[in-house]
Structure 1
C-alpha cells in the first residue's frame, strides 16, 4: 500500500464524494479513482460502495479507515522529526480541546507557545471530549485536552494523564445584584450557593452536547431537582455574554471567570461540583520536537494556574 493511495482513500471516506475529495487533494478525478482502484486490487476487496448519492464504506473499508489514518499520522510524524534533525525550524502541532478549555487554559498555552516557537504551525480542533479522543485514536490529532469523569475508554496506545482539578462555579452579571439564597439572603454574604439555591435561579444553559451540561444535568437529577432555564442551547461565548447582560446565571469552570470583570463568581456547595482536565496522547507514536515543546508548555501553564478552585492533580516530568 502506498501513502498516496491511503491518503486518497481517507479523503474519499471522510468526504463521501469522489469529486470533492479530488478537489481537496488537487488531483484529477480519474487519477483519484485509479489510486482507489489500485488499492482495492492490491487488497483484493472492495473498500467503497459507489451510488448516486455519494460513497459509503464496505465492511473492509470500515476496517481499513482507522488503520490508514494512523499510518498517515505516523508518516507525518516521521517527516516532521526528520525535518528537525536536518535543522529546519518548523513543525506542526494539532491540538484538540472542548470550548470551555479553549477560552481559558488553551488560550494561555497558545499565547506563550507562539512567542517561544513562532515557526511552529498550530491547528486547533474544538469538540467534545469523547470526539477528541476518537480523533486522537484515529491519528487526526497529536494531543488533546479533555474533561474526564471517572474511568474513560481509550484505545490501545492512548493514555489519559490528569492535569488539574477545578471547581464549577456560578457566574452572574457583576453589574447586577448577587444571586439570592433560599434563606432570603444573598450569596454575597457567604460567597456560596447550594444546588437547591441554584435550581431556583434563571439559568443560561449550555448546549446538551457540552460535557459541562451533562455534568450539571446529572447533578440536578441525582438531587431530585429541576433547574429553572432562561435560555437553553447556547455555546460558551454566547453563555458568557448572556450572563453579563443579566439574562441569567450559568455554571462554568473556575478558570473561565479569570480576567472577566463583567462576571461575578459564586462558589457552588452542597454538593460541590468539580471536573478533572486531562491530557490525552498516543504512546505508540514518538513525539516530535514540536509536540514535546507543546507538552512542556501545557505543564508549565497548568503549574502557573495557582488560583482558588484550581489545583494540579499530577506531577509531570
Structure 2
C-alpha cells in the first residue's frame, strides 16, 4: 500500500468522480485509475462500486476511508513538524557551560537567540569543564562552553576558540584597597574565598600561586560563583574571577586588575566530531560568536 494510492483513493471518495479526482491530485485519469485498481488488488476487495457510471464506496471503501484520511493527516503533520524544526520554529538546544560563563556571557547571548527563535527550548547544564566534556562525549549535550585546553585531549570533540578573558581580583568595597595592579605574589598573605573542587578557576588560581612558591590561604571554600561573590562582599576574603563576571557584579565589590603578565583563560565551544550539531545548535553557535565578536573584539583578552 503506497502513500500516493491512499491520496488518490481519498480524492475519488470525496469527488465521486475519477476525472475530477485526477485533476485535483494533478495526475492523468488513466494513471489514477490504474493506482486505484492496484490498491484494490493488494487489499483483495473493491473500494468503489462503478455501476451505471455512478461512483460509490463499497463496504470496504467505507472502512478504509477514515483510516486513509488519518494516515494522510499524520503524514501532513509530520511534514509540518519537520519543516517547523528546519525553520527553527521548534526544537531544543542542549548547551553546557561553566558557572562563570552562565553568569557573565550567556544571559545576553541566550536573550538574543530567544528573541530570534522563541520556539526553541534552551536546556542549560551548568558544570565544570571536566563534567561537560564527559556529557558531550556521551551525547547528552549538543554544545558546551569549556575552558581550553581540554582537561584531557579528546579526538572525539571539535573545539573552536571563542574568546580569551582576563582574570581580576575582587575584594569587598569596605576592605582596605589592595595594591593596584595586584601581583599573584601579593596574595601570599591574603585570605582567599575559593571555589569548589572541579571549578576551572580554582585550579588556575592555585596553580598560579604555586608557581610563585606558596600555597594560598582559604577562609571559605566550596562555593559556586554567586556564593563566592557573596562571601567576598561580606568581607571574608578576596577571589580571582573573570573580568566579565566582576564587572556585572560590581556593587559591593572592588575590582583590581592583575599585574602583567596577569592571568587569562581561553574559552572554547566544543561539540562532538562524529555528529554534526542540530541546526538550532548551529544557529546558537552563530549568535554566540557574533555577540562575542561585537562585545569582545580581538578575542576579549
TM-score range with shorter-chain normalisation?
A: 0.5 to 0.7
* Structure 1 equivalent of residue 204 of structure 2: 215
1:311 aligns with 2:299: yes
Q: Distance in 2 between matches of 1:112 and 1:246?
A: 36
Q: Distance in 1 between matches of 2:80 and 2:211?
A: 49
Q: Distance in 1 between matches of 2:299 and 2:261?
A: 18
SS of the residue aligned with 1:204? strand
Q: Which moved more, 1:80-89 or 1:233-242?
A: 80-89
Q: Distance in 1 between matches of 2:84 and 2:137?
A: 24
Shift of 1:80: 11
Are the equivalent residues in 2 in contact too, given 1:135–1:141 (CA < 8 A)? Answer: yes
TM-superposition CA deviations, 1:120-167 (whole Å, max 9, x none): 0010001111211121111110000001147851243x2111111111
Q: Unmatched 5+ residue regions in structure 2?
A: 1-78
* Structure 2 equivalent of residue 63 of structure 1: none
SS of the residue aligned with 1:269? coil
Aligned residues: 222
Shift of 1:297: 1.2
* Structure 2 equivalent of residue 243 of structure 1: 232
* Structure 2 equivalent of residue 170 of structure 1: 169
SS of the residue aligned with 1:102? helix
Q: Distance in 1 between matches of 2:149 and 2:134?
A: 16
Q: Distance in 1 between matches of 2:80 and 2:212?
A: 51
**In 2 relative to 1, CA 80–279 (structure 1 residues): closer, same or farther, beyond 3 Å?**
farther
Are the equivalent residues in 1 in contact too, given 2:168–2:257 (CA < 8 A)? Answer: yes
Shift of 1:289: 2.6
**In 2 relative to 1, CA 140–175 (structure 1 residues): closer, same or farther, beyond 3 Å?**
same
**In 2 relative to 1, CA 80–276 (structure 1 residues): closer, same or farther, beyond 3 Å?**
farther
TM-superposition CA deviations, 1:66-85 (whole Å, max 9, x none): xxxxxxxxxxxxx9993546
Q: Distance in 1 between matches of 2:161 and 2:87?
A: 34
Q: Which moved more, 1:80-89 or 1:218-227?
A: 80-89
SS of the residue aligned with 2:275? coil
Shift of 1:103: 0.6
* Structure 1 equivalent of residue 122 of structure 2: 122
Are the equivalent residues in 2 in contact too, given 1:81–1:289 (CA < 8 A)? Answer: no
Structure with higher Rg: it is: 2
Q: Distance in 1 between matches of 2:290 and 2:185?
A: 37
Are the equivalent residues in 1 in contact too, given 2:142–2:278 (CA < 8 A)? Answer: no
Where do 4+ consecutive residues of structure 1 move more than 6 Å?
A: none
Shift of 1:87: 5.6
**In 2 relative to 1, CA 269–88 (structure 1 residues): closer, same or farther, beyond 3 Å?**
closer
User: Cα RMSD (Å) of the superposition?
Assistant: 2.5
1:96 aligns with 2:113: no
1:230 aligns with 2:219: yes
Q: Unmatched 5+ residue regions in structure 1?
A: 1-78, 180-186
Equivalent positions of 1:131-170 (< 5 A) are 131-149=131-149, 152-156=152-156, 158-170=157-169
TM-superposition CA deviations, 1:242-290 (whole Å, max 9, x none): 1112211100011111232222211112551111000001233233331
Q: Distance in 2 between matches of 1:238 and 1:80?
A: 46
**In 2 relative to 1, CA 229–80 (structure 1 residues): closer, same or farther, beyond 3 Å?**
farther
Q: Distance in 1 between matches of 2:88 and 2:269?
A: 28
SS of the residue aligned with 1:90? coil
1:287 aligns with 2:286: no
